[in-house]
Amino acid sequence: MQTPRSQREALLRAADALLVTRAPTAGAQPAPGQPGAASDYVPATPDVFIAVRADGRVQAFNGHVDLGTGVRTALAQIVAEELDVAFERVEMVLGHTEAAPNQGPTIASATIQITAVPLRKAAAQARAWLLARAADALRTPADMLRVDDGVVRAGNGRATDYWTLLAGGGTTLALADAVALKPSAQYRCATSRPRRANWWRKAMWTRRWRTRTRCAAPMYGRTRCTDRSARPAGWPTTAPMA
């Protein structure tokens, strides 16, 4: 049976995949005042952020988890946007110790602000590599090519796609810090509203989230601004309201 570790090792050996990786590192330290404990765990294999496979799959890896807030959907949008592939094509792998990069605890709204940054750069870097290869195949400058869901078209009607380009052999790229990102004026997927990946499970309560709690007698409550001098005036004794 395959495990997340063996799957990652197989991915690193794949001859027909484009990978964007970085050297394994320990997780980020929480900022002063933030909750969470620092981890010194360092994986034995490189951190994979993006894997574009010759069979048409796009896998993206992030070290945070989805606590029901929708980051799985948002991260997939970011990857799809930078790679110019359909949102539905992106498979997000989140927060598994042996599968995803060690990016520290999922806290403080840091997923999109911080841990999505290298993922976005990795997707943009993968797209640039694929466009360079397509430019050679189509004999057209890369800046004259158009991409739609991985299909690369030149102005003369010639076309190829990411998967055909990778059938001739993939490569592994080291994650670069300076990467040209797509201008926001060109966004299509990132400004759309795709159906959240977990909406059905949440609506039907078929999946448990860390932030979800259940009790036998729920009571209605309302959050109000805190005041240092405020004290509870009492507790209701009537039947609870759902």
Look at residue 211 and tell me whether its pLDDT is greater than 70. Answer: no
Q: To the nearest whole percent, how much of the chain has pLDDT over 70?
A: 77
CA distance 7 to 146: 33
More confident residue, 144 or 236: 144
Q: Which pLDDT score is estimated for 40?
A: 76
Tokens of 194: 């795709």
Q: Which pLDDT score is estimated for 242?
A: 44
Q: Which pLDDT score is estimated for 202?
A: 65
Q: Which residue from 187, 13, 197 is spatially nearest to 93, judged by alpha carbons? A: 197
CA dihedral 219, 222, 226, 228 (to 10 degrees): -40
pLDDT tens track for 56-92: 999 999 999 988 888 999 999 999 999 999 999 999 9
Q: How confident is the model at residue 125 (pLDDT cuts 50, 70, 90)?
A: very high
Q: Which pLDDT score is estimated for 96?
A: 84
Tokens of 81: 């946007």
**Amino acid identity, residue 197?**
A
Query: Mean pLDDT, to the nearest integer, of 31-55?
Result: 81
Contact 87, 35 (CB under 8 A): no
pLDDT tens track for 94-122: 988 888 998 888 887 889 999 999 999 99
33: left (phi over 0), alpha (psi -120 to 50) or beta: left
pTM, two decimal places: 0.78
CA dihedral 25, 58, 87, 183 (to 10 degrees): 60
Q: Which pLDDT score is estimated for 124?
A: 97
- Is 184 exposed, middle or buried, given 0-12, 13-18 or 19+ CB atoms closer than 10 A? exposed
Q: Which pLDDT score is estimated for 194?
A: 74
Q: Which residue from 113, 53, 50, 87 is spatially nearest to 196, judged by alpha carbons? A: 87
CA distance 101 to 57: 19
**Amino acid identity, residue 33?**
G
pLDDT tens track for 163-203: 999 998 889 999 999 999 998 888 888 777 777 766 666 66
**Amino acid identity, residue 202?**
K
Q: Which pLDDT score is estimated for 228?
A: 66
Q: Which pLDDT score is estimated for 38?
A: 66
Q: Which pLDDT score is estimated for 154?
A: 96
Look at residue 2 and tell me whether its pLDDT is greater than 80. Answer: no
pLDDT tens track for 6-34: 888 888 898 899 999 999 887 766 667 66
All structural domains of the chain, each given as residue ranges with its CATH number in brackets, are 4-29+40-186 (3.30.365.10)
Neighbour tally for 179: CB within 10 Å: 18
Q: Which pLDDT score is estimated for 226?
A: 64
Q: Where are the alpha helices (DSSP H) in 66-182?
A: 71-83, 110, 116-138, 162-167
Q: Which pLDDT score is estimated for 26?
A: 77
